[in-house]
Amino acid sequence: MKAVRIATRQSPLALWQARHVASLLSQVHPGLECTLVEMTTAGDRFLSAPLSTVGGKGLFVKEIEQSLLDGRADLAVHSLKDMTSVLPAGLLLAAVPKREDPRDAFCSPEGLSLELLPKGARVGTSSLRRSCILRSRRPDLEIISLRGNVQTRLARTRELGLHGAVLAFAGLKRLGLETEITEVLPTSISLPAVGQGVLAIQCRTEDAVVRGLLAALEDDTTRVAVTAERAYMARLEGGCTVPLAGHATVEGGTVRLRGLVGRPDGSKVVEGERSGPVETALAVGEALAEELLSRGAAEILRDFGRASPVPES
Ligand SMILES: NCc1[nH]cc(CCC(=O)O)c1CC(=O)O
């Protein structure tokens, strides 16, 4: 194979990620030509509404996945965090490269840390998970909805005079915006989203040639973590519509998964942790989901987990 077409969104972060994968691919397969197929998704179009009300995840990936199914592109690069737990028939997560730092980061124009925020401080985020976690730790905080790409959210934070905003470290780093970070939040404070910091490279299941090319980008440790996190998410049927966090680490043949489900206002959170041999990553994920469900997550999902209809474009 001489050339591959890479489907991507047009946001600066998505383009960085697609170019990064193109560069990794041409390093491991010298002479391979990579071209980008840039697309706009529903998630990019409904920027005015909070993510949770426009229908959550899938929004950023559906059109891209369709381009693979239609044969307009050979592979697609996504943020794994944006992907639904069930992939469309005929497509697969062919490779996950080594994970970037998965933590959340606090960006405060005033240089404040979370700890130093005054009572009633206003903090921006578009994510139900981040709102829930922030409010559960600091019920006095006022959460302001921020949508749009990373640069837009940082600009809005200043325009609105917010005390700060929480964004993914990985996105800020990839865009060279680490200087905006005033505090990297430990996972014990802000448990990351399932798949945060991981790039997902997707292709057609039947395309053995592209699968062969992508195999070289696979990172086994990342795959174990992702397997546990996504099995957990699948069992909880969580999209962006309920506050859901899940993060796995791998050390010495053991995968350790921590999870959190909560109410959007942080008035209730259910948290837990499970470990097991890396070969049992899937079962570890399912077991943690079952445990959280039985300890109160089922009730939270019943009250808050309904996806709102996606508006017509
Ligand atoms: N839905 C937006 C999104 N999807 C992936 C990332 C960050 C990069 C990553 O987690 O890999 C972001 C931005 C953010 O949450 O601040």
Q: Which of 17, 20, 78, 79 to mutate to test the pocket of ligand 1 (most atoms within 8 A of CB)?
A: 79
Contact 242, 304 (CB under 8 A): yes
The ligand 1 atom nearest the CA atom of 51: 1
Q: Hey, what are 213's tokens?
A: 């090319």
Taking only the tens of pLDDT, the chain with its 313 residues reads: 789 999 999 999 999 999 999 999 999 999 999 999 999 877 777 665 555 555 556 777 888 999 999 999 999 999 999 998 889 999 999 999 999 999 999 999 999 999 999 999 999 998 999 999 999 999 999 999 998 899 999 999 999 999 999 999 999 999 999 999 999 999 999 999 999 999 999 999 999 999 999 999 999 999 999 999 999 999 997 545 789 999 999 999 999 999 999 999 999 999 999 999 999 999 999 999 999 999 999 999 988 765 544 332 2
Residue position matching structure tokens 């197929």: 37
Q: Which of 100, 150, 156 to mutate to test the pocket of ligand 1 (most atoms within 8 A of CB)?
A: 150
Cβ of residue 171 lying under 6 Å from some atom of ligand 1 = yes
Q: What is the pLDDT of residue 48?
A: 59
Contact 69, 131 (CB under 8 A): no
Instruction: Transcribe 267-280 into DSSP letters.
Output: S-EEEEEEEEEGGG
Q: What is the pLDDT of residue 265?
A: 93
For 121: left if phi > 0, alpha if psi spans -120 to 50, otherwise beta; the answer is beta
The C-alpha angle 247, 251, 254, rounded to 5 degrees, equals: 80
Based on the number of CB atoms within 10 Å of its own CB, is 20 exposed (0-12), middle (13-18) or buried (19 or more)?
middle
Catalogue the active-site residues.
Answer: 82
Contact 104, 226 (CB under 8 A): no
Cβ of residue 197 lying under 6 Å from some atom of ligand 1 = yes
- Give, using CA atoms, the residue closest to atom 2 of ligand 1: 82
Q: What phi, psi does 241 have (nearest 5°)?
A: -90, -10
**Rounded distance from Cα 31 to ligand 1 centre (Å):** 31
Contact 7, 68 (CB under 8 A): yes
Residue from 184, 183, 160, 182 nearest 111 by CA: 182
Cβ of residue 196 lying under 6 Å from some atom of ligand 1 = yes
Q: What is the pLDDT of residue 60?
A: 77
Q: What phi, psi does 254 have (nearest 5°)?
A: -115, 135
- Give, using CA atoms, the residue closest to atom 9 of ligand 1: 197
Three-class HEC string of 19-88: HHHHHHHHHHCCCCEEEEEEECCHHHHCCCCCCCCCCCHHHHCHHHHHHHHCCCCCEEEEEHHHCCCCCC
Provide the whole-model pTM.
Answer: 0.93
ipTM over 0.85: yes
Can you count the helices (H) and strands (E) in the chain? 10, 13
Q: Hey, what are 234's tokens?
A: 């699948």
Cβ of residue 170 lying under 6 Å from some atom of ligand 1 = yes
Domains of the chain: 1-98+198-218 (3.40.190.10), 104-185 (3.40.190.10), 219-308 (3.30.160.40)
Q: What is the pLDDT of residue 210?
A: 98
Q: Which of 8, 13, 174 to mutate to test the pocket of ligand 1 (most atoms within 8 A of CB)?
A: 13
Q: What is the pLDDT of residue 56?
A: 59
**Rounded distance from Cα 150 to ligand 1 centre (Å):** 8
